[in-house]
Protein backbone atom coordinates (compact mmCIF):
# COMPACT_ATOMS: atom_id res chain seq x y z
CA UNK A 1 0.00 0.00 0.00
CA UNK A 2 2.97 2.30 0.59
CA UNK A 3 3.32 2.83 -3.15
CA UNK A 4 -0.26 4.08 -3.46
CA UNK A 5 -0.46 5.90 -0.12
CA UNK A 6 -0.61 9.34 -1.75
CA UNK A 7 -3.54 8.24 -3.90
CA UNK A 8 -5.56 8.21 -0.67
CA UNK A 9 -8.16 9.63 -0.29
CA UNK A 10 -8.78 10.96 -3.77
CA UNK A 11 -9.30 7.27 -4.50
CA UNK A 12 -10.93 4.99 -1.97
CA UNK A 13 -8.97 1.95 -0.81
CA UNK A 14 -11.40 -0.22 -2.78
CA UNK A 15 -11.01 1.83 -5.96
CA UNK A 16 -7.25 1.77 -5.65
CA UNK A 17 -7.28 -1.98 -5.14
CA UNK A 18 -9.46 -2.48 -8.20
CA UNK A 19 -7.13 -0.61 -10.58
CA UNK A 20 -4.89 -3.65 -10.87
CA UNK A 21 -7.77 -5.55 -12.48
CA UNK A 22 -8.21 -3.11 -15.37
CA UNK A 23 -6.76 -3.44 -18.85
CA UNK A 24 -5.96 -0.26 -20.73
CA UNK A 25 -4.75 -0.13 -24.32
CA UNK A 26 -2.50 2.77 -25.30
CA UNK A 27 -2.26 3.27 -29.06
CA UNK A 28 0.97 5.08 -29.84
CA UNK A 29 3.98 5.26 -27.52
CA UNK A 30 5.31 8.64 -28.64
CA UNK A 31 4.44 12.06 -27.24
CA UNK A 32 1.03 11.37 -25.70
CA UNK A 33 1.43 7.62 -25.28
CA UNK A 34 4.70 7.73 -23.36
CA UNK A 35 3.28 10.04 -20.73
CA UNK A 36 -0.03 8.14 -20.62
CA UNK A 37 1.76 4.82 -19.97
CA UNK A 38 3.88 6.42 -17.26
CA UNK A 39 0.83 7.81 -15.47
CA UNK A 40 -1.36 4.71 -15.90
CA UNK A 41 1.50 2.57 -14.58
CA UNK A 42 2.09 4.77 -11.55
CA UNK A 43 -1.65 4.65 -10.81
CA UNK A 44 -1.34 0.87 -10.75
CA UNK A 45 -3.42 -0.11 -13.77
CA UNK A 46 -2.63 -3.82 -13.82
CA UNK A 47 -2.39 -4.48 -17.54
CA UNK A 48 -1.32 -1.96 -20.15
CA UNK A 49 -1.05 -2.77 -23.85
CA UNK A 50 1.48 -0.48 -25.53
CA UNK A 51 1.24 -0.33 -29.33
CA UNK A 52 3.75 1.32 -31.65
CA UNK A 53 5.56 0.12 -34.75
CA UNK A 54 8.33 2.74 -34.60
CA UNK A 55 11.76 3.01 -33.03
CA UNK A 56 13.01 6.12 -31.26
CA UNK A 57 14.88 8.68 -33.32
CA UNK A 58 16.63 11.91 -32.49
CA UNK A 59 13.66 14.14 -33.35
CA UNK A 60 11.62 12.40 -30.61
CA UNK A 61 13.95 13.58 -27.83
CA UNK A 62 12.33 17.02 -27.49
CA UNK A 63 9.09 15.56 -26.12
CA UNK A 64 8.74 11.79 -25.89
CA UNK A 65 9.29 10.74 -22.28
CA UNK A 66 10.23 7.15 -23.15
CA UNK A 67 13.08 8.37 -25.36
CA UNK A 68 16.60 9.17 -24.19
CA UNK A 69 20.12 8.87 -25.54
CA UNK A 70 20.15 5.14 -24.75
CA UNK A 71 16.87 4.31 -26.43
CA UNK A 72 17.62 5.74 -29.87
CA UNK A 73 16.97 3.03 -32.45
CA UNK A 74 14.99 0.92 -29.98
CA UNK A 75 11.31 -0.02 -30.21
CA UNK A 76 9.00 2.49 -28.53
CA UNK A 77 6.60 -0.23 -27.36
CA UNK A 78 9.41 -2.34 -25.92
CA UNK A 79 10.86 0.69 -24.13
CA UNK A 80 7.49 1.06 -22.39
CA UNK A 81 8.01 -2.45 -21.00
CA UNK A 82 11.51 -1.58 -19.80
CA UNK A 83 10.36 1.68 -18.26
CA UNK A 84 7.53 0.06 -16.31
CA UNK A 85 9.88 -2.60 -14.92
CA UNK A 86 11.73 0.29 -13.27
CA UNK A 87 8.70 2.37 -12.27
CA UNK A 88 6.14 -0.22 -11.17
CA UNK A 89 6.89 -3.92 -11.64
CA UNK A 90 3.37 -4.76 -10.44
CA UNK A 91 2.14 -3.56 -13.83
CA UNK A 92 2.24 -5.88 -16.83
CA UNK A 93 2.96 -4.14 -20.12
CA UNK A 94 2.04 -6.04 -23.25
CA UNK A 95 4.11 -4.55 -26.07
CA UNK A 96 2.80 -4.78 -29.62
CA UNK A 97 5.40 -3.71 -32.15
CA UNK A 98 3.06 -3.17 -35.05
CA UNK A 99 1.06 -0.50 -36.78
CA UNK A 100 -2.49 -0.08 -35.57
CA UNK A 101 -4.84 -0.37 -38.54
CA UNK A 102 -8.20 -1.64 -39.65
CA UNK A 103 -6.92 -5.17 -40.22
CA UNK A 104 -5.38 -5.80 -36.80
CA UNK A 105 -7.23 -3.17 -34.76
CA UNK A 106 -9.99 -5.38 -33.43
CA UNK A 107 -7.56 -8.02 -32.19
CA UNK A 108 -5.44 -5.35 -30.49
CA UNK A 109 -8.30 -3.56 -28.73
CA UNK A 110 -10.66 -6.37 -27.71
CA UNK A 111 -10.55 -7.36 -24.07
CA UNK A 112 -9.58 -3.90 -22.81
CA UNK A 113 -11.69 -1.73 -20.52
CA UNK A 114 -10.72 1.51 -22.23
CA UNK A 115 -8.37 2.77 -24.94
CA UNK A 116 -6.13 5.84 -24.93
CA UNK A 117 -5.87 7.48 -28.35
CA UNK A 118 -2.25 8.57 -28.58
CA UNK A 119 -2.05 8.04 -32.34
CA UNK A 120 -0.32 10.67 -34.43
CA UNK A 121 -2.59 10.62 -37.47
CA UNK A 122 -6.22 11.39 -38.18
CA UNK A 123 -6.86 8.27 -40.23
CA UNK A 124 -5.78 6.05 -37.35
CA UNK A 125 -7.92 8.00 -34.90
CA UNK A 126 -11.01 7.53 -37.07
CA UNK A 127 -10.23 3.83 -37.44
CA UNK A 128 -9.97 3.60 -33.67
CA UNK A 129 -13.39 5.18 -33.31
CA UNK A 130 -14.94 2.67 -35.74
CA UNK A 131 -13.38 -0.31 -33.98
CA UNK A 132 -14.27 0.88 -30.47
CA UNK A 133 -17.81 1.47 -31.68
CA UNK A 134 -18.00 -2.11 -32.96
CA UNK A 135 -16.50 -3.60 -29.81
CA UNK A 136 -18.47 -1.40 -27.42
CA UNK A 137 -15.34 -0.03 -25.72
CA UNK A 138 -14.88 3.64 -24.71
CA UNK A 139 -11.76 5.60 -25.64
CA UNK A 140 -10.17 8.86 -24.62
CA UNK A 141 -9.15 10.92 -27.61
CA UNK A 142 -6.20 13.25 -27.38
CA UNK A 143 -4.44 15.25 -30.08
CA UNK A 144 -1.71 17.88 -30.08
CA UNK A 145 -0.24 20.49 -32.40
CA UNK A 146 2.32 23.03 -31.24
CA UNK A 147 0.81 25.14 -28.46
CA UNK A 148 -2.59 23.50 -28.92
CA UNK A 149 -4.34 20.31 -27.93
CA UNK A 150 -7.74 18.70 -27.55
CA UNK A 151 -9.32 15.98 -25.44
CA UNK A 152 -12.66 14.21 -25.48
CA UNK A 153 -13.96 10.93 -24.09
CA UNK A 154 -15.92 8.87 -26.57
CA UNK A 155 -18.39 6.14 -25.68
CA UNK A 156 -19.96 3.75 -28.18
CA UNK A 157 -22.66 5.63 -30.07
CA UNK A 158 -21.10 9.08 -29.59
CA UNK A 159 -18.90 9.13 -32.73
CA UNK A 160 -17.49 12.44 -31.54
CA UNK A 161 -14.49 12.35 -33.89
CA UNK A 162 -16.78 12.68 -36.89
CA UNK A 163 -17.44 16.15 -35.56
CA UNK A 164 -13.75 16.93 -35.03
CA UNK A 165 -12.44 15.78 -38.39
CA UNK A 166 -14.27 16.40 -41.62
CA UNK A 167 -14.23 13.84 -44.40
CA UNK A 168 -10.95 13.58 -46.30
CA UNK A 169 -9.16 15.60 -43.62
CA UNK A 170 -5.90 13.72 -43.38
CA UNK A 171 -3.51 16.04 -41.57
CA UNK A 172 -3.74 18.59 -38.83
CA UNK A 173 -1.84 21.77 -38.03
CA UNK A 174 0.81 19.70 -36.20
CA UNK A 175 2.42 19.14 -39.61
CA UNK A 176 3.36 22.81 -39.73
CA UNK A 177 3.66 23.58 -36.01
CA UNK A 178 5.47 20.50 -34.72
CA UNK A 179 5.10 19.51 -31.06
CA UNK A 180 7.02 20.78 -28.02
CA UNK A 181 7.73 19.11 -24.67
CA UNK A 182 4.77 20.40 -22.71
CA UNK A 183 1.59 19.89 -24.77
CA UNK A 184 1.96 16.08 -24.87
CA UNK A 185 2.38 15.99 -21.09
CA UNK A 186 -0.61 18.27 -20.54
CA UNK A 187 -2.97 16.50 -22.92
CA UNK A 188 -1.89 13.02 -21.75
CA UNK A 189 -2.52 14.06 -18.13
CA UNK A 190 -6.07 15.04 -18.94
CA UNK A 191 -6.58 11.84 -20.94
CA UNK A 192 -5.44 9.70 -18.01
CA UNK A 193 -7.68 11.60 -15.58
CA UNK A 194 -10.58 10.90 -17.96
CA UNK A 195 -9.72 7.19 -18.24
CA UNK A 196 -9.47 6.88 -14.47
CA UNK A 197 -12.91 8.41 -13.96
CA UNK A 198 -14.44 6.06 -16.54
CA UNK A 199 -12.82 3.08 -14.80
CA UNK A 200 -13.92 3.98 -11.28
CA UNK A 201 -17.31 5.25 -12.48
CA UNK A 202 -17.03 8.51 -10.60
CA UNK A 203 -16.53 12.16 -11.57
CA UNK A 204 -17.56 14.04 -14.70
CA UNK A 205 -16.00 13.15 -18.02
CA UNK A 206 -15.71 15.09 -21.28
CA UNK A 207 -18.40 13.04 -22.97
CA UNK A 208 -19.88 14.78 -26.01
CA UNK A 209 -17.75 17.68 -24.92
CA UNK A 210 -14.43 18.67 -26.43
CA UNK A 211 -11.80 20.47 -24.41
CA UNK A 212 -9.64 22.75 -26.56
CA UNK A 213 -6.34 23.76 -25.05
CA UNK A 214 -4.40 26.83 -26.12
CA UNK A 215 -1.22 27.20 -24.08
CA UNK A 216 -0.06 30.17 -26.17
CA UNK A 217 -2.81 32.39 -24.83
CA UNK A 218 -3.74 30.08 -21.92
CA UNK A 219 -7.29 29.66 -23.09
CA UNK A 220 -9.28 26.54 -22.28
CA UNK A 221 -12.53 26.13 -24.13
CA UNK A 222 -15.09 23.35 -23.73
CA UNK A 223 -17.47 22.83 -26.63
CA UNK A 224 -20.66 21.02 -25.72
CA UNK A 225 -21.98 18.90 -28.57
CA UNK B 1 -23.55 41.92 -36.74
CA UNK B 2 -21.91 38.49 -36.88
CA UNK B 3 -19.10 37.84 -34.42
CA UNK B 4 -16.42 35.42 -35.65
CA UNK B 5 -14.21 33.77 -33.02
CA UNK B 6 -10.97 32.35 -34.38
CA UNK B 7 -8.96 29.62 -32.65
CA UNK B 8 -5.35 28.40 -32.76
CA UNK B 9 -3.57 29.06 -36.05
CA UNK B 10 -6.54 30.91 -37.54
CA UNK B 11 -5.43 33.84 -35.36
CA UNK B 12 -2.12 34.17 -37.18
CA UNK B 13 -2.18 37.44 -39.09
CA UNK B 14 -5.72 38.08 -37.82
CA UNK B 15 -7.40 38.99 -34.55
CA UNK B 16 -8.93 36.58 -32.03
CA UNK B 17 -12.32 37.95 -33.00
CA UNK B 18 -13.58 39.61 -36.15
CA UNK B 19 -16.98 41.27 -36.65
CA UNK B 20 -18.90 41.22 -39.90
CA UNK B 21 -21.85 43.45 -40.74
CA UNK B 22 -24.98 41.38 -41.11
CA UNK B 23 -26.82 41.25 -44.41
CA UNK B 24 -29.58 38.92 -45.51
CA UNK B 25 -28.14 35.74 -46.93
CA UNK B 26 -24.67 36.04 -45.36
CA UNK B 27 -23.19 32.57 -44.82
CA UNK B 28 -20.20 31.00 -43.12
CA UNK B 29 -18.71 30.38 -46.54
CA UNK B 30 -18.82 34.11 -47.34
CA UNK B 31 -17.05 34.82 -44.07
CA UNK B 32 -14.26 32.25 -44.43
CA UNK B 33 -13.68 33.41 -48.00
CA UNK B 34 -13.34 37.01 -46.76
CA UNK B 35 -10.90 35.83 -44.09
CA UNK B 36 -8.88 33.88 -46.67
CA UNK B 37 -9.48 30.63 -44.80
CA UNK B 38 -9.85 27.55 -46.98
CA UNK B 39 -12.78 25.24 -46.34
CA UNK B 40 -10.47 22.23 -46.23
CA UNK B 41 -8.58 23.84 -43.32
CA UNK B 42 -11.70 24.23 -41.16
CA UNK B 43 -12.21 21.23 -38.88
CA UNK B 44 -14.99 22.71 -36.76
CA UNK B 45 -17.49 25.36 -37.72
CA UNK B 46 -19.82 26.35 -34.91
CA UNK B 47 -22.80 28.67 -35.04
CA UNK B 48 -23.75 29.80 -31.54
CA UNK B 49 -21.78 26.89 -30.12
CA UNK B 50 -23.46 24.23 -32.26
CA UNK B 51 -22.21 22.33 -35.28
CA UNK B 52 -23.11 24.46 -38.31
CA UNK B 53 -23.09 24.26 -42.08
CA UNK B 54 -21.07 26.71 -44.14
CA UNK B 55 -23.86 27.32 -46.63
CA UNK B 56 -26.71 27.89 -44.19
CA UNK B 57 -27.81 31.53 -43.94
CA UNK B 58 -26.82 33.20 -40.68
CA UNK B 59 -28.94 35.43 -38.45
CA UNK B 60 -28.08 38.84 -37.10
CA UNK B 61 -26.25 38.41 -33.79
CA UNK B 62 -24.91 34.92 -34.53
CA UNK B 63 -21.54 33.98 -33.13
CA UNK B 64 -19.33 31.77 -35.28
CA UNK B 65 -16.33 29.77 -34.07
CA UNK B 66 -13.66 28.33 -36.37
CA UNK B 67 -11.14 25.66 -35.33
CA UNK B 68 -8.39 24.06 -37.42
CA UNK B 69 -7.73 20.29 -37.19
CA UNK B 70 -5.40 19.07 -34.44
CA UNK B 71 -4.19 15.53 -35.09
CA UNK B 72 -0.75 14.93 -33.58
CA UNK B 73 0.21 12.47 -30.90
In the stretch 8-37 of chain B, residues with CB closer than 8 A to chain A read 8-9, 16
Question: For the sheet containing A23-27, what is the strand order?
Answer: A92-96, A47-51, A23-27, A114-117, A139-145, A148-154, A209-214, A219-224
Q: Is residue B54 part of a domain?
A: yes
Q: Is residue B71 part of a domain?
A: no
Backbone angles phi, psi at A66, to 5 degrees: -80, -5
Q: What pLDDT shows up at residue A166?
A: 83
Q: Is residue B23 part of a domain?
A: yes
Q: Is residue B28 part of a domain?
A: yes
Nearest CB to B68; choose among A121, A125, A173: A173
Q: What pLDDT shows up at residue A151?
A: 98
Q: What pLDDT shows up at residue A1?
A: 65
Compare all CA atoms of chain B with the CA of A165 and give the residue at the minimum distance: B43
Contacts of B17 (CB under 8 A, 6+ apart): B3, B4, B5, B6
pLDDT in tens, B28-72: 999 999 999 999 999 999 999 999 999 999 999 999 999 999 999
Q: Is residue B26 part of a domain?
A: yes
Task: For residue B43, give its domain range.
Answer: 1-65
Bridge partners of A180?
Answer: none
Tell me whether residues A122 and B69 touch, CB distance under 8 A.
yes
Q: What pLDDT shows up at residue A169?
A: 81
The whole-angstrom separation of Cα A184 and Cα A34 is 9
Question: Is omega for the bond preceding A27 within 30 degrees of 0, making it cis?
Answer: no
Nearest CB to A174; choose among B44, B49, B72: B72
Tell me whether residues B43 and A117 touch, CB distance under 8 A.
no
Q: Measured between CB atoms, does B38 come within 8 Å of chain A?
A: no
CA-nearest of A59, A11, A220, A38 to A118 is A38
Q: Is residue B51 part of a domain?
A: yes
Q: Is residue B70 part of a domain?
A: no
Substitution target in A100, A115, A173, A175 with the highest count of B β-carbons within 10 Å is: A173
SS3 A105: helix
Which segments in chain A show pLDDT lower than 70? 1
Torsion of the alpha carbons at A195, A198, A201 and A204, rounded to the nearest 10: 90
Nearest CB to A172; choose among B7, B51, B71: B71
Q: What pLDDT shows up at residue A66?
A: 98
Compare all CA atoms of chain B with the CA of A30 and give the residue at the minimum distance: B73
Bridge partners of B51?
Answer: B46
Tell me whether residues A177 and B9 touch, CB distance under 8 A.
yes
Q: What pLDDT shows up at residue A6?
A: 96
Domain count for chain B: 1
The answer to whether residues A49 and A26 touch, using CB atoms and an 8 Å cutoff, is yes
C-alpha to C-alpha distances, A203 to A11, A25, B42, nearest whole angstrom: 11, 21, 32
Tell me whether residues A118 and B8 touch, CB distance under 8 A.
no
CATH of the domain at B46: 3.10.20.30
The answer to whether the predicted template modeling score (pTM) of the entire model surpasses 0.80 is yes
Helical ranges in chain A per DSSP H: 13-18, 31-43, 76-87, 105-109, 122-135, 161-164, 174-177, 182-200
Instruction: Write out chain A residues lying below 8 Å of B32, CB-based.
Output: none
Contacts of A1 (CB under 8 A, 6+ apart): none
Q: Is residue B42 part of a domain?
A: yes
Amino acid sequence: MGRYGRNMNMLSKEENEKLKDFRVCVLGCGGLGGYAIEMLGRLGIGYITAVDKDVFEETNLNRQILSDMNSLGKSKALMAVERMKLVNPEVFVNAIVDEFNFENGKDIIKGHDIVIDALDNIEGKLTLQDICEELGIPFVHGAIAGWYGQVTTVFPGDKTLKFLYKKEMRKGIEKELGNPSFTPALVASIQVSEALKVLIGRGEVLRRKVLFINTFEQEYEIIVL
Amino acid sequence: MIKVKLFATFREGRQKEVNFDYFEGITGRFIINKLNIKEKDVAIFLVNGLDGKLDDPLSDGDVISLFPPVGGG
